[in-house]
């Protein structure tokens, strides 16, 4: 049965405040992304679509970074015993990986290869990570993706526009879930986060477009229209050595 998070958010618990730490991670997708090859000369590929190539490159780097950032958020949430929040972040990470994979594939159609770059993330406690995630999703919806689409429309490469619009719609889903938490929390965000741990739900992600639902899909994908069979039930993340070590270091 599908669970609507907005109907299940309640109040009052406690939260640990932990210091922020800066992490250096590689903006790779840890085997989830479509296999990538080393960078070749971008100027030699995408002839006739320079703006499209540039947008796809920016989108690829942005989505791979978002994928890895959500994995770091997930690890932190596990360390703080917020299993459901970790599950949320893990599901969003999968969605971001699909967006990056799609951009990579279109670039390869254009004869352009992708490269991975080093990214620097600020990771705080789960409460601050939720706030940061909501702000980033809102920025993508209101600024980043409208600008991408405007630039892509100049050259009208159909596959690029299609996957960019898919990603834009999926980011709206992400923002809606995060906004539900933010709107119900106010000054009691820690309480709401803790209360979320009492809710039983499952996340499903469309492997075509990255659509993210917090319940069993009831029909074709609302974003790309593909069969419900393309939705994968995302497994709940389990505490790892990294999250255990993270938690231990905070207590020292």
pLDDT (mean) for 120-144: 91
pLDDT tens per residue across span 227-242: 999 999 999 998 875 5
CA distance 21 to 65: 17
Smallest Cα–Cα separation from 32: which of 242, 213, 235?
235
In CATH, the number for domain 5-241 is: 1.20.1260.10
| More confident call, 23 vs 247 | 247
pTM to 2 decimals? 0.77
For the chain, the structural domain boundaries read 5-241
Do 192 and 11 touch, CB atoms closer than 8 A? yes
pLDDT for the residue numbered 188 = 57
pLDDT for the residue numbered 190 = 67
pLDDT tens per residue across span 194-218: 777 778 889 999 999 999 999 989 9
pLDDT tens per residue across span 152-207: 999 999 999 999 999 999 999 999 989 887 776 555 566 767 777 778 889 999 99
DSSP string, the chain: ----GGGT------------EEEEEE---TT-SPP------GGGSSTT-HHHHHHHHHHHHHHHHHHHHHHHHHHHHHHTT-HHHHHHHHHHHHHHHHHHHHHHHHHHHTT------EEEEEE--HHHHHHHHHHHHHHIIIIIHHHHHHHHHTTT-HHHHHHHHHHHHHHHHHHHHHHHHHHHHGGGHHHHHHHHTT-----EEETTT--EESS---SS-TTT---GGGEEEPPPP---HHHHHHHHHHH-
pLDDT for the residue numbered 246 = 58
CA distance 67 to 28: 8
End-to-end CA distance of the chain: 42
31-35, 127-131, 212-216: lowest mean pLDDT where? 31-35
Phi, psi of 208 (to 5 degrees): -90, -45
Do 145 and 74 touch, CB atoms closer than 8 A? no
pLDDT (mean) for 107-135: 86
pLDDT (mean) for 18-39: 33
51-60, 83-92, 242-251: lowest mean pLDDT where? 242-251
pLDDT for the residue numbered 250 = 56
pLDDT for the residue numbered 241 = 56
pLDDT band at 122 (very low <50, low <70, confident <90, very high): confident
pLDDT tens per residue across span 49-79: 999 999 999 999 999 999 999 999 999 999 9
CA distance 94 to 91: 5
């Amino acid at each position: 049965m599908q669970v609507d998070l907005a109907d299940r958010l309640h109040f009052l618990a406690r939260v640990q405040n932990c210091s922020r730490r800066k992490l250096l991670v590689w903006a790779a997708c840890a085997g989830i992304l479509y296999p990538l090859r080393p960078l070749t000369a971008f100027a030699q590929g995408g002839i006739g679509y320079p703006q499209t190539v540039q947008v796809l490159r920016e989108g690829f780097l942005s989505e791979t970074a978002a994928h890895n950032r959500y994995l770091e958020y997930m690890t932190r949430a596990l360390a703080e015993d917020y299993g459901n929040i970790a599950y949320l972040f893990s599901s969003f990470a999968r969605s971001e990986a699909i967006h990056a994979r799609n951009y990579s594939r279109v670039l390869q159609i254009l004869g352009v290869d992708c490269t991975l770059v080093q990214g620097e993330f600020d990771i705080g406690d789960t409460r601050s990570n939720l706030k940061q995630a909501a702000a980033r999703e809102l920025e993508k919806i209101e600024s980043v993706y409208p600008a991408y689409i405007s630039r892509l429309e100049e050259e009208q490469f159909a596959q690029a526009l299609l996957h960019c619009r898919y990603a834009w719609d999926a980011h709206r889903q992400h923002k809606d879930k995060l906004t539900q938490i933010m709107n119900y929390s106010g000054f009691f965000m820690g309480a709401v986060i803790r209360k979320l741990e009492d809710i039983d739900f499952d996340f499903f992600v469309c492997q075509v477009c990255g659509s993210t639902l917090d319940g069993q899909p009831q029909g074709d994908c609302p974003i790309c229209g593909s069969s419900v069979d393309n939705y994968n039930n995302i497994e709940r993340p389990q505490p790892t050595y990294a999250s255990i070590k993270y938690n231990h270091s905070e207590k020292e």
